[in-house]
Amino acid sequence: MEPKDGFVEANGLRLHYLEWGGDAPPVVLLHATGFLARLWQPIAVQLSARFHVYASDARGHGDSDKPPLSGAEGPAEGYGWEGLAADLRGFLDRLGLVGVPIVGHSSGAAGAARLAAKQPEYVSALVLIEPTVFPPMPVEGSDERKEQLASGAAKRRMVWDSREELIASYRQRRTFAGWREDVLRLFAEHSTFEREDGRIELKCPAEIEAEMYRNSLSPDTWDLLPRVRCPTLVIRGENTEPMLARVAEGVARRIPGARLAAIASGSHFVPMERPESIAAEALAFLEGALPAA
């Protein structure tokens, strides 16, 4: 099932999104830092049996606008959890989506949780996959991990001779080692564009991805979690990093009534590794959490 493309103007930005499904209640999917909406495709196709699925490209990612990190008016704002939540609110407003379930991965989960806490009327249920919402006193290793990710992103190779070359290289990297083949190919196809010289380049600029990681410690979002009142499922990969496992467990404890689930053989990138398991968990949870249509 091929999705439909769309764009909306929100917060002064042109945001790209995809849609799957027909006349059914909506659900919104939010991707992680460095990725894009199209990676949700295997999950979105399964969810579309019950929902009309929307997935948006965050600012700086995919085919959405990419405000520079600095300009005549000083440093750019919006490349952090507060900005993600504000862009999400603007996106929902433009499409008339209020009181909808939201599924977010990593930074997408952080932005969704922040919006649910501050403006609960927008969110009817949450599925937070590997949420990167850290406490005020960082979990042991979180500072080092944040700097490692930011440094790695800033040095990321942006240009490749072909998508096949990119796939062959990425298969050797720990981050992508467990990805399902079709999802890795979705990444190669849709997270890149063809340059005038015939080579391909990643759509998400390295400096923007690095900035997102630098802004990934958001203690105020952690403090807001007890204000989330909608039904919430927190999902982590069974084999995720110990620090991220502790974060997921902490998020589930702080949100009243939240449930925690672990996906077997999954890492922090479990939506790309085990999309069928994520879709099954999300569908079962949302069907129980939401009123019958």
pLDDT in tens, 105-121: 999 999 999 999 999 99
What would the two tokens of residue 153 be? 């992103």
**Among 169-173, 214-218, 288-292, the least confident range:** 214-218
Whether residue 210 has pLDDT greater than 60: yes
Rounded CA separation 199/193 (Å): 8
What would the two tokens of residue 123 be? 């969110």
Rounded CA separation 41/278 (Å): 12
Measuring CA to CA, which residue among 268, 272, 267 is closest to residue 42?
272
Rounded CA separation 223/114 (Å): 10
pTM of the model: 0.93
Measuring CA to CA, which residue among 135, 85, 90, 77 is closest to residue 107?
85
Q: What is the pLDDT of residue 50?
A: 95
Q: Which domains does the chain have, with CATH numbers?
A: 4-139+217-289 (3.40.50.1820)
Angle of helix 163-170 relative to helix 181-190, nearest 10 degrees?
A: 130
pLDDT in tens, 71-95: 445 446 788 888 899 999 999 999 9
Measured at the alpha carbon of residue 269, what is the angle toward residues 49 and 289, in degrees to the nearest 5?
A: 40
Tell me the mean pLDDT in the region 147-161. Answer: 77
Whether residue 152 has pLDDT greater than 80: no
